[in-house]
A and B are shown apart, each in its own frame.
Chain A
């Protein structure tokens, strides 16, 4: 294949990536979209082998190629085991982990190129005219990829651990933001130094310091953020990795990497902002606010008036069986209790009795946007029963029974009523406007954000305590019997 054809193929690959992301935007074509993107990846690999790598491959088979094959196979096995063994509830952790690996790879690729440059006369000038400006630009992209990639690696690992329940509370100490700022300044200073002294005597040492600081900065950045905000963090780190890959593409002059990395970088940034918008918090507040710790104390001081009214499963079953319209609000608690199949059974049972059942999905319910949709889809709930928050809120007055399963902050009317609440202004599913609200909960503990829920104390709210799955199974039996 001649070298003129490769850019044309890369254009085709770019179109496949763009179409893949576009197809992902509709439930009908989403699966196809994923396959289209994968096909693009495969074609790009073929082109890489046949032309970009021609000079490389022409050296004949060597130990390095054996290493490539073995490494790829090991990665394939790790990826396949991870992808097919992970429970649907742990999906966000898996994405965080894969993202961290990608970030680590991006940092390593850039580091290797950089160290190679620092030790040879061909500093960063590989296949490029040795213009001073060009070298600085290339060195800059390598440093950027190293910095962002390693930050994404360590940050993703921390995000993974937090979602696994390890130190999920925000960790803060006085002056933390100042310390992080100082580290960032040192990092930027090192980057500046290395950009223009890439082949100097101290370059390698400075580079290693930079690498370690970037790893540390990823930890320092994510540690103060509460577990509830991990979706935003993962989305942000996902776009970081994309940018690091794009910068690597600049450095090793690979167009496919530039396009793919940039697409991920820009779409990931927008997704992050959309998620913050859904929580009505500026992204800076998520990253630097250490929200959970301050929020807890503020809510405790506020206090809530009213009493909690418990209810038994048989009463709930009667309410449901004779309702006309029922709305289910699922939350992370449903995922933890593995109750999604029981929920589907209950809604099917109600459907047979002519009850209109819908699911109200808050954009940030669960640990990731769309997390609830994935879980309910797994339990065979048809996706046209799932209604987004904005679509369902106007008709909440006409709902007979609202069943809140393991959701907390996303139905907290404090977001509307209590100006002192840390979640004030966050859009919520207005469950409190329904005729009757049934909250299924294990205990009276506060939600993930550590805020007292005003909904539990409303006159039209009843609490059904116990394990969500057990309660739901009891409800299914009772509804069948009645």
Chain B
């Protein structure tokens, strides 16, 4: 096991808490939606797993994982952008 990964994991926990602690509540919904899109990185996990799939079962499940992950990442960023483009200051 690579302890460096754990090290990064622990630091990322604190960065995540620190970065979000300054977010005003008016942006909580876009923020939740934006972070939701970021965990769509699971798409890559799906791609890696499907690329290695050897049995029809693994292919089927991997395919579903890729579809889910892709919907998560693309839909997440698009819906967040759609929300945020409406935040305009007084003209």
Q: Is the CB of B70 within 8 A of A265?
A: no
B12 cross-chain contacts in A, Cβ below 8 A: 14, 246, 258-259, 262-263, 266
Q: Is the CB of A83 within 8 A of B78?
A: yes
Would you give the shortest CB distance from A375 to chain B, in whole angstroms? Answer: 9
Query: Which of A17, A76, A99, A275 contacts B70 (CB under 8 A)?
Result: A76
**Could you say which interface size class chain A belongs to?**
35 or more
If A95-B36, A383-B89 touch, whether A108 touches B5 (CB-CB below 8 Å) is no
Q: Does A111 reach chain B (CB closer than 8 Å)?
A: yes
How many residues on the B side are at the interface (Cβ–Cβ under 8 A)? Answer: 80
Residue in A24, A41, A252, A268 with the greatest tally of chain B CB atoms within 10 Å: A24
Query: Which of A18, A91, A105, A269 contacts B68 (CB under 8 A)?
Result: A105
Q: Once bound together, how far apart are the Cα atoms of A30 and B26, in whole Å?
A: 11
Would you give the shortest CB distance from A252 to chain B, in whole angstroms? Answer: 6
B46 cross-chain contacts in A, Cβ below 8 A: 71, 105, 108-109
A269 cross-chain contacts in B, Cβ below 8 A: 17
A84 cross-chain contacts in B, Cβ below 8 A: 78, 82
Would you give the shortest CB distance from A65 to chain B, in whole angstroms? Answer: 7
Query: Which of B28, B42, B44, B62 contacts A48 (CB under 8 A)?
Result: B44
Q: Is the CB of A252 within 8 A of B87?
A: no
A111 cross-chain contacts in B, Cβ below 8 A: 61
Q: Is the CB of B43 within 8 A of A91?
A: no
If A21-B19, A78-B75, A79-B71 touch, whether A37 touches B64 (CB-CB below 8 Å) is no
B residues whose Cβ falls under 8 Å from a Cβ of A: 1-2, 5, 8-9, 12-17, 19-54, 58-59, 61-91
A residues whose Cβ falls under 8 Å from a Cβ of B: 14, 17-18, 20-22, 24-27, 30-31, 33-35, 37-38, 41, 44-45, 48, 52-53, 56-57, 63-65, 67-68, 70-76, 78-80, 82-84, 86, 88, 91-92, 94-95, 98-99, 101-102, 104-106, 108-109, 111-113, 115-116, 128, 131, 133-134, 137-138, 234-235, 238, 241-242, 244-246, 248-250, 252-271, 274-275, 278, 361, 363, 368-371, 373-374, 377-378, 380, 382-386, 388
